[in-house]
């Protein structure tokens, strides 16, 4: 690379009245009005930062037809509560700006812990809490009646006994929109298999929202589209595209027991990667690579580097499929790391010494996460909850991959995972509500991934990303290219945040 450029920039109208056959990836079953159960994760206590204002009840909220009614499943958990707080803040800010959204916003938190739920609801300007275990189907369906948007944050999504139970309930209840923070490949594929069902019933659904996957998917679209706009006239017989996701979160990121449980379950899954357009599966926590996150280590003051390793993450599959017909991607991989370093040693060792059958047992994972949580909380207090995302897209020579024709990198950093996940999920939720309010530019009924719903139209993608990177410590785009392939890159807007 002789030339390098640093460029910074930034519903269902009726319920199921008869048996409905639903086909999922690798499984199928028939839905009757009482055929599936809904499961709820345990909740964690959160500290609140806002002043208590109102505690309305759901019955009063549903009477107000001039409001968007949003339900947050897992609203007593850390991610759910963070999403609710940031959505209300973003919505009210935008409503009072030039966007002029007409309706008020009302948020219903749903969970099983009455004390935590009521305290959380009091810190919303216009919120309530419904103490409902969503395994209680009849009560849960009452909560979903008349809801405009369901936000499902109750993970983990790995190894569900019945996949997509909340998505199916949202369709049956006649909710207008649905988003979730799914981070599991199998659950994602099962949700995508519900596309026609959602489409036929007129519900708009976006899955795998949040920070990663979610914002990271749109970062990938951003870097790939940046190269496409350079008009390099690359010969696909001569070169190929490589996409790499690199993630870092210190400790659990403050997200609690759910991330511990999810990590253990992921360690029991071989990691999907694409190599030269071929599907490959690598052992979880293998394929070590040192990545620089373009920051400074807070302790040493040195450039922040981290050894990252593969995990089975849905964005690998979804981005490859999204760009498959365009022939711009041949290699896709996602890697992750945490801190302190002995956590990484333990994670890399676990798949080698513990049988996969044990790692994939959700009951065991749940118990282990509960037992280890106090110790993990202590470690979190020492190492913080810094979160980094790096997405790299390279176009390389097929015969010599070291010959890089163009390399585009997007970097995101935030000091707190809990906050940035809430901000990111709120950004997706806001876009769904904005579309519904305007009545135009719909994403269309069905089940969509972030890149499918918001990737193609750059104005929509940029608007969502602008809301998702609020409070980010760093948001940077770096472009490097071979001088033999000159092109204008000044079209990239300046959105640097250092």
Would you give per-residue pLDDT tens digits along the chain (498 residues)?
433 333 333 333 333 444 444 444 444 433 433 333 333 333 333 333 333 344 344 444 444 568 999 999 999 999 999 999 999 999 999 988 867 687 999 999 999 999 999 999 999 999 999 999 887 889 999 999 999 999 999 988 998 888 899 999 999 999 999 999 999 999 999 999 999 999 999 999 999 999 999 999 999 999 999 999 998 888 888 999 999 999 999 987 765 677 788 888 999 999 999 999 999 999 999 999 999 998 766 666 678 899 999 999 999 999 999 999 999 999 999 999 999 999 899 999 999 999 999 999 988 988 888 888 788 778 777 888 899 999 999 999 999 999 999 999 999 999 999 999 999 999 999 999 998 887 667 899 999 999 999 998 899 999 999 999 999 999 999 999 876 654 443 333 334 454
pTM above 0.75, yes or no: yes
CA 244 from centroid of its chain's CA atoms: 17
**CB neighbour class for 491 (10 Å; exposed up to 12, middle 13-18, buried from 19):** exposed
Instruction: Give a yes or no: residue 261 inside a domain.
Output: yes
CATH of the domain at 392: 3.30.360
Residue 388 lies in a domain: yes
> Taking a C-beta distance cutoff of 8 angstroms, is the pair 25, 193 a contact?
yes
Token pair, residue 21, equals 């056959």
From start to end of 311-436, where are the E strands?
331-339, 387-397, 404-414
What's 485's DSSP letter? S
In a domain, 328, yes or no: yes
Indicate whether 201 belongs to any domain.
no
Look at residue 305 and tell me if it is in a domain: yes
Backbone angles phi, psi at 471, to 5 degrees: 70, 5
Domain of 249, in residue numbers: 215-416+471-481
Instruction: Indicate whether 237 belongs to any domain.
Output: yes
Distances in whole angstroms, Cα of residue 168 to Cα of each of 107, 151, 162, 173, 209 = 21, 13, 10, 9, 18
pLDDT at 137: 87
- Looking at the domain assignment, is residue 107 inside a domain? no
Closest among 462, 464, 461 to 428, alpha carbons compared: 464
Counting the structural domains of the chain, the total is 1
Q: Rounded CA gap, 117 and 81, in Å?
A: 9
CA dist list (Å): 255 to 405, 416, 464: 39, 9, 23
Q: Residue with structure tokens 């997200």? A: 255
In-domain check, residue 371? yes
Helices (H) and strands (E) in the chain, counts: 16, 19
């Amino acid at each position: 690379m002789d030339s390098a450029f640093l460029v910074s920039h930034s519903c269902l109208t009726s319920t199921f009245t008869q048996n409905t056959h639903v086909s999922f990836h690798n499984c199928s079953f028939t839905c009757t009005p009482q055929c599936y159960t809904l499961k709820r994760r345990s909740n964690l206590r959160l500290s609140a930062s806002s002043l208590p204002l109102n505690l309305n009840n759901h019955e009063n909220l549903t009477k107000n037809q001039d409001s968007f009614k949003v339900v947050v499943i897992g609203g007593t958990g850390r991610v759910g509560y963070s999403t609710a707080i940031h959505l209300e803040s973003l919505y009210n800010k935008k409503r009072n700006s030039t966007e002029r959204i007409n309706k008020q916003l009302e948020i219903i938190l749903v969970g099983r812990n009455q004390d935590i739920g009521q305290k959380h609801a009091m810190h919303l300007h216009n919120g309530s809490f419904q103490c409902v275990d969503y395994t209680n189907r009849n009560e849960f369906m009452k909560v979903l009646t008349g809801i405009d948007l369901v936000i499902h944050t109750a993970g983990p999504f790995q190894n569900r006994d019945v996949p997509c139970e909340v998505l199916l309930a949202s369709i049956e209840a006649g909710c207008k929109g649905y988003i979730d923070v799914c981070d599991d490949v199998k659950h994602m594929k099962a949700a995508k298999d519900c596309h026609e069902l959602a489409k036929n019933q007129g519900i708009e659904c976006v899955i795998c929202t949040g920070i990663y996957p979610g914002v990271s998917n749109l970062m990938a679209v951003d870097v790939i589209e940046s190269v496409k706009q350079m008009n390099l006239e690359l010969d696909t017989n001569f070169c190929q595209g490589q996409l790499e996701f690199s993630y870092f979160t210190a400790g659990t990121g403050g997200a609690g027991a759910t991330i511990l449980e999810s990590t253990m379950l992921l360690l029991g899954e071989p990691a999907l990667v694409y190599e030269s357009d071929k599907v490959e599966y690598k052992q979880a926590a293998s394929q070590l690579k040192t990545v620089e996150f373009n920051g400074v280590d807070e302790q040493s003051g040195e450039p922040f580097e981290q050894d990252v390793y593969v995990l089975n993450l849905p964005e690998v599959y979804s981005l490859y499929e999204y760009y498959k017909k365009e022939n711009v991607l041949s290699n896709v991989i996602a890697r992750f790391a945490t801190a302190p370093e002995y956590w990484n040693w333990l994670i890399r060792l676990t798949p080698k010494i513990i049988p996969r059958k044990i790692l994939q047992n959700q009951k065991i994972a749940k118990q282990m996460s509960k037992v280890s949580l106090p110790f993990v909380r202590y470690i979190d207090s020492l190492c913080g909850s810094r979160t980094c995302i790096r997405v790299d897209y390279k176009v390389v020579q097929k015969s010599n991959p070291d010959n890089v024709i163009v390399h585009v990198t997007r970097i995101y950093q935030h000091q707190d995972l809990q906050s940035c996940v809430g901000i990111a999920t709120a950004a997706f939720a806001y876009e769904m509500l904005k579309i519904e309010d305007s009545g135009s530019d719909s994403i269309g009924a069905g089940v969509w991934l972030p890149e499918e719903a918001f990737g193609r139209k750059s104005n929509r993608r940029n608007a969502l990303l602008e809301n998702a990177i609020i409070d980010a410590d760093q948001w940077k785009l770096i472009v490097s290219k071979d001088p033999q392939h000159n092109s204008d890159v000044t079209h990239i807007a300046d959105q640097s945040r250092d």
